[in-house]
Amino acid sequence: MKTQFARNAAIAVCLMCSAGQRPALADSLTASNTVFLPGETLTLTYTADQAATQDVYLWFEFGDKVMFMDENGGMSNYMAGATTPARLKSPVAGKYRLLTFTQPGWFYSSVVAYSAKGRPGSDALAPGNLDSQSLRAQPLSFTEVPGKGVAAAVNGGALYAGHCASCHEDDPGLNNRNRVRNGIDPKTTRAAIQQNKGGMGVLSPLSSSELIAIAAWIANPRFDCH
Ligand code: HEC
């Protein structure tokens, strides 16, 4: 999975350059560089804000893949140059489950979701067929494994003090003991845990959002002054 996502990321960069007709919509990008644990799910929430015309398409892009959602919540691969099947038009508003992870992994690439009008009977995303005026970013979210530290994730400092400081010292801003500042990228900490570096394997129960909160705190440690 790691290798696959790394490859996808490289291809995604190329796609971005060639897909010049699509504006960048950074606000739909909520899953970039996120570490996922088994059972975690990436969800797209589609609000059909574009009047009930018959030619709205909904799709998401991740790595080198573009996937269309159909009206029943199914997904189909987009193939450039091929006619976009009519059944992929006009998805109903609601939540679409995009991916559920079955093994630990992480995204190197971003995931973005869009809806737009595209002309029927053609390649919906081809230049000229996509109505860029109607293009909307659609929000993505990811669901934690139930019961795994969502509330705790808001306090990266407390998590660091409890799980990391014993081997990395209290203030990662003042020291870089055992290269702890590499943990500014949560993927590096996840990898260290998976490889049991320095005995860190015991930390494998930490959830994605806990590692992300810890990473944010390592990047910018703040201590309350009483
Ligand atoms: C039991 C001691 C221990 C604990 C607890 C621990 N670490 Fe480590 N960590 C180490 C040691 C030792 C190394 C250096 C390992 C090596 O060089 O092979 C290390 C390395 C790292 C690295 C560098 C990895 C790399 O490849 O550059 C990061 C980042 C890191 N730890 C983050 C954390 C975070 C964040 C926590 C808390 C969630 C944590 N560690 C908890 C002992 C620990």
Where are the alpha helices (H) located in 115-197, listed in sequence order? 156-163, 165-168, 186-194
Sheet holding 65-69, edge to edge: 75-77, 65-69, 56-62, 111-118, 130-137
Pocket test for ligand 1, best of 155, 166, 179 (most atoms within 8 A of CB): 179
The model's pTM:
0.48
Domain assignment present for residue 214? The answer is yes
Domain match, 194 and 134 both: no
**Pair 94, 67: CB distance under 8 Å:** no
> 176 is in which domain, residue-wise?
152-219
Distance 185 CA to ligand 1 centre (A): 13
Domain match, 51 and 6 both: yes
Q: Which residues pair with 58 in a beta bridge?
A: 115
Domain assignment present for residue 117? The answer is yes
Domain match, 157 and 105 both: no
Q: What number does the ligand 1 atom closest to the CA of 199 have? A: 1
Tell me what pLDDT residue 150 has: 35
Domain match, 81 and 118 both: yes
* Ligand 1: lining residues by beta carbon, under 6 Å: 163-164, 166-168, 178-180, 182-183, 188-189, 192, 197-200, 203, 214
pLDDT in tens, the chain (226 residues): 222 222 222 222 222 323 333 433 333 333 444 555 666 677 788 876 655 555 788 888 876 778 888 877 788 888 888 888 877 877 778 888 877 766 555 444 456 788 888 776 788 888 778 777 788 877 777 666 554 433 333 467 778 889 999 999 988 888 899 999 999 888 899 999 999 999 999 999 998 878 877 887 787 776 643 3
Number of domains forming the structure of the chain = 2
Q: Single out the residue in 123, 143, 163 at which a domain terminates.
A: 143
Q: How many CB atoms lie within 10 A of CB 23?
A: 11
Angstrom distance (rounded) from CA 187 to CA 34: 8
Angstrom distance (rounded) from CA 15 to CA 11: 6
Q: What number does the ligand 1 atom closest to the CA of 189 have? A: 29
Domain match, 131 and 193 both: no
Tokens of 109: 């690439």
Domain match, 51 and 161 both: no
